[in-house]
Structure 1
Amino acid sequence: MKKITTRLATMDDIDQLADMFDAYRQFYELAPDLALSRQFIRDRMLGSESVLILAEDEEGASAGFCQLYPTFCSLAAAPIYALYDLYVRPEARKLGAGRALLLAAEAHALRNGALRLDLTTAKTNLAAQSLYTALGWQRDDIFYAYSKTLAA
């Protein structure tokens, strides 16, 4: 079994992050667009708008990533992170990469004074839901999530 480690991504990681981000978007049934994926990741990193955590095996091959967006909870009057993107390459699944990324995200949030982490996932993504529950995440059964597309 390959050992998985995590670290904060740097600008040197953009190409491998873009490749995985494009695969992540395709998982959610969007058309492949590597250029868009690269630009999006690059812009987030250059603007310090998100935190990207990279999972790698012991040979340095990328296994997955997660992307956190810093935000706030008005009711608690405290900082939180939205864990918006989490992707593990198919060949790295069942090796602990998802778990390692979630634990690294939690550690990063704690180091930076966040009150909590929030995430959403597809109702059909049962494997991810099982992992979230195993790591102590609690599903919200009280609130509904709504969104409205403003521009195509």
Structure 2
Amino acid sequence: MSLAIRRASAADLDLVAPLFDRYRHFYTQRNDEAVSRAFIGERLQRGDSALLLASLDGADGAGFVQLYPTFSSVRAARVWVLNDLYVEAHARRRGVARALLDAAAGFARADGAARLELETNHDNAQAQALYDGAGWLRFDGTQRYHLPLAQAGLPPAQA
């Protein structure tokens, strides 16, 4: 088995868009390749995220991880948010997710970031086991909040 990770570019849109659509569908969004293509295409074109793409046995598109930049004012440093991690069904249980996590950490370190952050659902035991096994630490004693903002066509609970 050969596994490689590389940063995707705007030239990879035709490969990444269907992957991103399946990722969104996995998280209960309806399949909508046009929405997925527009969103991920804009990210790749603007360079406002870092999308790392996995190849397994020479075939691109085994999975991806997408990171968004933010900052820690207290640390006066960049922080990367690991927002999206997806592995195709045929590539699961073959080390792809762990390799993507390791590549994300390497990317953030090379960028001089203070840390990587992510969140997952409280009932996603499989993801939690992956993150725990990869050395991620939980933010014990903290409580995360969010404020839904209504978007055109979406009720506030889905924004």
Corresponding residue number in structure 1 for 2:50: 51
1:80 matched residue in structure 2:
79
- 3-state SS in 2 of match to 1:61: strand
Alignment-mate amino acid for residue 70 of structure 2: T
Partner residue of 1:125?
A: 124
Structure 2: give runs of 5+ residues left out of the alignment.
152-159
Corresponding residue for 1:106?
A: 105
Which consecutive aligned stretches of 4+ in structure 1 deviate over 4 angstroms post-superposition? Answer: none
| Residue in 1 that maps onto 2:27 | 28
- What TM-score do the two structures reach when normalised by structure 2? 0.90
CA distance in 1, matches of 2:22, 2:118: 19
The one-letter code of the counterpart of 2:145 is Y
Aligned to 1:13: 12
Deviations, residues 65-119 of structure 1 (Å, cap 9, x unaligned)? 0100111011211111001000001110001110110000000001110010000
Deviation at residue 42 of structure 1 after TM alignment: 0.8
Relative CO higher for 1 or 2, CA cutoff 8 Å, sep ≥ 6? Answer: 1
TM-score between both structures, scaled by the size of structure 1:
0.94
Q: CA RMSD in A?
A: 1.1
Structure 1 SS opposite 2:81: strand
User: Pairwise mapping of residues 58-97 of structure 1 onto structure 2 (< 5 A)?
Assistant: 58-97=57-96
The answer as to whether partners of 2:2 and 2:58 remain within 8 angstroms in 1 is no
Q: CA contact under 8 A between 1:50 and 1:69: conserved in structure 2?
A: yes
C-alpha distance in structure 2 between counterparts of 1:145 and 1:19, whole Å: 31
C-alpha displacement at 1:48, in angstroms? Answer: 1.3
AA paired with 1:145?
Answer: R
3-state DSSP class of the match of 2:5? strand
- Retained in 2: the 8 A contact 1:4–1:95? no
Q: Partner residue of 2:114? A: 115
1:10, CA displacement in angstroms?
A: 1.5
1:141 aligns with 2:157: no
CA distance in 1, matches of 2:11, 2:45: 12
Pair 1:37-2:39 in alignment: no
